[in-house]
Structure 1
Amino acid sequence: MKEDFLHYIWLHKKINVNQLYTTKGEKLEILHFGHYLQTAGPDFFNAQLIIDYQKWAGNIEIHLKSSDWYVHHHEKDANYDNVILHVVWEHDVDVYRKDNTEIPVLELKQYVASKDILNYTQLTNPKSWINCENQIGLIESFVLENWLERLFLERLETKSELVFSLLKVSKNDWESVLFCLLAKNFGLNSNGPSFFKMAQSIPFQVLRKEMNHQENLEALFFGLNSLLVLDGEDTYFQLLKAKWNLLKEKYQLQSNHLEKVHFYKLRPDNFPTIRLSQLAVLYHTIPNLFEKCIRSSNLIDLYQLFDVNASVYWNYHYNFDRESSFKKKRISKSFIDLLIINTIVPIQFAYSKYLGKDSSEAILDLIRQIKPEKNNMIFKFAYFGVTSKSALESQSLLQLKKQYCDVQRCLDCHIGIHLIRK
């Protein structure tokens, strides 16, 4: 038994309220269960009760055992002076406020239906991957779909926190915010931290001044990621290195020595050289990129917007000084999908929020057009009967696994609540 189950019982009124008595035999009537605020202090605020025909208004604290009151030192905390009822699973000791007045106690275990306890026990009994793995595939579609949609919007709210922190640092420069997020996601998991640090280290006004010169942008991006440090015989390498030396003096820039870029175990098309060149070409060829991203509401427009190649040199290279067979290093649709999921959709959501507008429906329509991501977590959900038809489901399932399943928040999850009620 865990305390969160008692919170669930109280929050959802899963007790017979007609025949309640305190541990002292006093008749208890609940007029209002209180507000579950999940903040510091008592668990439920502003409840209203009648105990032996005396009306009370105040707060309610919930514990597994009465003695937990003293374990948590509530008797010394003024925030608990207004507790009018101590709700526990097991009453093992009388509890007193700071003024030595006794707090009425309701022992829940005699008032909770056995089927609710059984359902909770079955749900929270650890399984091989997630607690509900044997049941989640049987959940009614409308319950699952509504919850996944809410999880996706919850995920966007979390992602918007980074957007607004970058907006504050950039003094409300949305183009700068977009650049930081794009750089991070062009680097994927392996080089995202390095690319993100690069984007943060260069004032966006520098990019604005150099956007007309694609080679200058490449020199900046490669130099800031310490890719122009070694000596190379390649003519293009020497050109970029010379430009980098001029630009870093002009703008007083420093190479990134803390986060190194990685080539190991990456597909050649994801090499940092290729991705940085594509990012440079994108900003060289498309002015006012933020405005275009915000206005693009369908997949075709976004595919066209990000349909760029790395610069000509990289048609025959993946690394400096190593020539390869000809191949245009074009940004693939699958990579653009990742950019939309992790950059465009979050910044569209945050920008609408910034303007005081609700763009949820348009964003949901857009994300439903994108194919689901393919990774081990999504495959595992499919194994247990929950398949992803679009990126909305795959993103929602990532949110579900990391923010609910992994931290045992079954009673905050609509699937968990549905299974207990059922």
Structure 2
Amino acid sequence: MKEEFLHFLWKYKLFSATYLKSIKGEPVEIVNSGVYNTNTGPDFLNAQLKIDGQLWIGNVEIHLKSSDWYAHHHEKDTNYDAIILHVVWCYDADVFMKNNLPLPTLELEKFVQKEVLVNYQKLFSKEQCWIPCEKQIAEVDSFLLNNWLERLYFERLENKAVFIKELLAKSNNDYEAVLFKLLAKNFGLKVNGEAFFDMSNSFDFSVLRKVRFQEEQLSALLFGQSGFLEGEVEDGYYTQLQNEYKYLQHKYQLQPLTKNRFQFFRMRPNNFPTIRIAQLVALYFRHQHLFSQIVEVSRLQDFYMLFSVEVNDFWKIHYTLETTSKKSPKRLTKSFIDLLVINTIIPLKFVYEQERRAVNEEQLLQLMQQLKPEKNSVISKFSELKIEAKNAFETQALLELKNNYCAKQKCLQCAIGNYLIKF
């Protein structure tokens, strides 16, 4: 058993509170259990308790064993001078206050119903499982589950916002620059995401602002910084880009990455890093002020139109700079745009609106609910447990649940865990 579970029991009064008695036989009545303290110091602050008929206002400390009071050296810490009740699972030693009187102690084990313990033990059993509640999660009330998923989704947005705010701080709050970095990272997907992100950080965004009006210079900048213009290729377009890049490199003192940072192995041709860079070029050549346009857009169909760009003629017959291929337009697909909306557009809009204290949560949720559910191993496993995600809002929430609650066994902070223990 963990001490955290005792905090949970006290917070939600999951015990027979009507006939509580201290180890000395004094009646204990909880008027107010106090405020849960997540910082250092006593576990619950400003509690109101009637002990043997006398009203006390002060703090409550909780331990597995009463002797833990001394193991944690609370007798030497003035933060614990205002303790009015010591709540323990097992009483194994008296604790004395500074006036040499014994500290009122409640042995909780005597008052907790067996069913609550059984439910707790089911969640925290040593048995290997994918998530602690996999045998019970399908029984959870749908109203509770839906409300919890909504909160989880916004927790996920808040977590993504931390990274975005760090980028904004480094770029002097330049949203256009941060949008480019986030888009670059997501254009690279999982395999090449970090390489694309490093490429976006390898030059100042002011350089892109200066060259984006000329497609050839913009292409030279991104392909050159990615290391794809370092070799010798007998092709007129390649030579033009190479010459342009040499000029830009000298003018702006650019240092390219090495192209071996980018992976082609076992990737579909449409996901080749060269194609994704070409599409990024097409996007920024077509839209000179992309972030300003994104702020104005709220409908999914408008995002599809905004990101509906085609690569230039060279890339319609190439997947790499070296060899030709069958002609294809290589447009951004709707499924790829969906990923950009989920992982870049909505988190950035959330931060932008948050800083202006004008977050439209309903609009963000409606947009996410229009997107198809993501497909990955986590979502497939939840489906096996009869938790079917209907849209991207729910898949994002389930990813947050799995990664930041289930994997860390934070069942006592989870609405699902709370429900299963109480019932």
2:144 maps to 1:132: no
Taking the aligned partners of 1:380 and 1:267, their CA distance within structure 2 comes to 25
C-alpha contact 1:232 1:321 (8 A) present in aligned 2: yes
Could you tell me which runs of 5 or more consecutive residues in structure 1 were left unpaired when the two chains were aligned.
Answer: none
Taking the aligned partners of 1:279 and 1:70, their CA distance within structure 2 comes to 62
Q: 2:81 — aligned with what?
A: 81
CA shift, 1:100, in A, is 6.4
C-alpha contact 1:127 1:133 (8 A) present in aligned 2: no
Taking the aligned partners of 1:258 and 1:237, their CA distance within structure 2 comes to 15
Amino acid aligned to 1:4: E
Q: 2:152 — aligned with what?
A: 151
Taking the aligned partners of 1:409 and 1:19, their CA distance within structure 2 comes to 31
CA shift, 1:239, in A, is 2.1
C-alpha contact 1:184 1:192 (8 A) present in aligned 2: yes
Amino acid aligned to 1:335: F
198 and 109 in structure 1: CA distance in 2 versus 1, 3 angstrom threshold: same
Taking the aligned partners of 1:77 and 1:249, their CA distance within structure 2 comes to 64
Taking the aligned partners of 1:157 and 1:263, their CA distance within structure 2 comes to 33
Taking the aligned partners of 1:327 and 1:72, their CA distance within structure 2 comes to 69
C-alpha contact 2:132 2:406 (8 A) present in aligned 1: yes
Q: 1:396 — aligned with what?
A: 397
C-alpha contact 2:149 2:394 (8 A) present in aligned 1: yes
Counterparts of 1:5-24 in structure 2, within 5 Å, are 5-24=5-24
Q: 1:177 — aligned with what?
A: 178
2:321 maps to 1:320: yes
C-alpha contact 2:47 2:60 (8 A) present in aligned 1: yes
CA shift, 1:313, in A, is 1.5
> Which stretch of the first structure deviates more once superposed, 365-374 or 52-61?
52-61
Q: 2:204 — aligned with what?
A: 203
Q: 2:240 — aligned with what?
A: 239
Q: 1:376 — aligned with what?
A: 377
CA shift, 1:174, in A, is 1.1
2:213 maps to 1:212: yes
C-alpha contact 2:202 2:256 (8 A) present in aligned 1: no
Task: String of CA shifts for 1:173-223, please: whole Å, max 9, x gaps.
Answer: 111111111111111111111211222332222211111012222222222
Q: 2:249 — aligned with what?
A: 248
Q: Which of structure 1's runs of 4+ aligned residues deviate more than 4 A?
A: 96-102
86 and 249 in structure 1: CA distance in 2 versus 1, 3 angstrom threshold: farther
319 and 115 in structure 1: CA distance in 2 versus 1, 3 angstrom threshold: same
Taking the aligned partners of 1:410 and 1:244, their CA distance within structure 2 comes to 54
Q: 2:281 — aligned with what?
A: 280
Counterparts of 1:19-418 in structure 2, within 5 Å, are 19-96=19-96, 102-125=102-125, 126-256=127-257, 260-418=261-419
Task: String of CA shifts for 1:322-371, please: whole Å, max 9, x gaps.
Answer: 22211221111100000000011111111111111131000000000000
Task: String of CA shifts for 1:106-153, please: whole Å, max 9, x gaps.
Answer: 111111111111121123224521111122123222121111111111
> Which stretch of the first structure deviates more once superposed, 8-17 or 62-71?
62-71
Taking the aligned partners of 2:43 and 2:259, their CA distance within structure 1 comes to 44
Taking the aligned partners of 1:209 and 1:16, their CA distance within structure 2 comes to 71
Taking the aligned partners of 1:55 and 1:101, their CA distance within structure 2 comes to 18
C-alpha contact 1:76 1:98 (8 A) present in aligned 2: no
C-alpha contact 2:47 2:59 (8 A) present in aligned 1: yes
Taking the aligned partners of 1:230 and 1:96, their CA distance within structure 2 comes to 79
C-alpha contact 1:283 1:289 (8 A) present in aligned 2: yes
CA shift, 1:289, in A, is 0.7
85 and 226 in structure 1: CA distance in 2 versus 1, 3 angstrom threshold: farther
Taking the aligned partners of 2:62 and 2:339, their CA distance within structure 1 comes to 44
C-alpha contact 1:187 1:275 (8 A) present in aligned 2: yes
388 and 70 in structure 1: CA distance in 2 versus 1, 3 angstrom threshold: same
Taking the aligned partners of 2:182 and 2:75, their CA distance within structure 1 comes to 49
Task: String of CA shifts for 1:272-302, please: whole Å, max 9, x gaps.
Answer: 1111111111011012111111111111000
CA shift, 1:259, in A, is 8.8
C-alpha contact 1:194 1:259 (8 A) present in aligned 2: no
**3-state DSSP class of the match of 1:89?**
strand
Taking the aligned partners of 1:257 and 1:57, their CA distance within structure 2 comes to 66
Q: How many residues in Structure 1 have an aligned counterpart in Structure 2?
A: 422
**3-state DSSP class of the match of 1:323?**
coil
Taking the aligned partners of 1:244 and 1:102, their CA distance within structure 2 comes to 80
**3-state DSSP class of the match of 1:47?**
strand
Taking the aligned partners of 1:237 and 1:266, their CA distance within structure 2 comes to 23
TM-score, normalised via structure 1 length: 0.94
Taking the aligned partners of 1:224 and 1:407, their CA distance within structure 2 comes to 40
C-alpha contact 2:14 2:422 (8 A) present in aligned 1: no
Q: State, as a whole percentage, how many aligned pairs show the same letter.
A: 49
Task: String of CA shifts for 1:298-332, please: whole Å, max 9, x gaps.
Answer: 11000000111223211121122122211221111
Task: String of CA shifts for 1:247-293, please: whole Å, max 9, x gaps.
Answer: 12212222235992211222111111111111111011012111111
Taking the aligned partners of 1:81 and 1:265, their CA distance within structure 2 comes to 64
Amino acid aligned to 2:33: F
CA shift, 1:98, in A, is 7.3
